[in-house]
Amino acid sequence: MAIEVDIMYINGISFVITTSCSIHFCTAKLIKNEKSATIATAIKQVIQIYQVSKCKVQYLLGDGQFEHICKYFWDTDITINVTGRNEHVLAIERAIRTIKERTRAKVNQLPFKVCPHRLIVEMVYNVIFWLNVFPHRDGVHEVMSPRTILTELHINHDKHCMLEFGSYVQIHEEHDN
């Protein structure tokens, strides 16, 4: 199995974005800096998700900025394939465009003029969640979603579709002083 990887920026916030070539399972990991150790750690966390579901990651496809992380994967069976100069991995670039478009749509639905850092991060995670919920048109299965294939978790309407992201909610909890 091959995973495509790139770094996405939204308002100066960096994310390592990955997507598998066949299943089209997409992930986003917030990174605090772009040091090679930080990027490699984020990618290894994603690879663990695949290993738990018994999928073996053999190839990591990225552009030139991932050339410096090869040393962190020498002890694994993963081959890092870096594109040539001024080239990009097209599928991950398209996934990033989709994530950014959907995040912008969510921002425009919110009543805020400025969004805090944490709200943007959670918006990206929400977009990724919903991208993985529906079957991909070029995926390995026409009915099962990437999330279901990889994690064996299904959507629960009562849990996941109760409120839209950014909805105002007021909760009254009983408490005993």
- What is the model's pLDDT at position 168? 74
| All structural domains of the chain | 2-160 (3.30.420.10)
Rounded Cα–Cα distance for residues 5 and 7 (Å)? 7
Q: Which of 27, 44, 24, 47 is CA-nearest to residue 128?
A: 27
Provide the greatest CA pair distance for the chain. Answer: 64
Rounded Cα–Cα distance for residues 141 and 7 (Å)? 27
Rounded Cα–Cα distance for residues 15 and 38 (Å)? 11
- What is the model's pLDDT at position 140? 62
- What is the model's pLDDT at position 44? 93
3-state class (DSSP) for residue 102? helix
- What is the model's pLDDT at position 127? 95
The pLDDT averaged over each successive group of 10 residues in the chain (177 residues) is: 93 94 91 93 92 88 88 87 81 94 92 90 94 78 75 76 76 78
- What is the model's pLDDT at position 143? 67
Model's pTM, two decimal places? 0.85
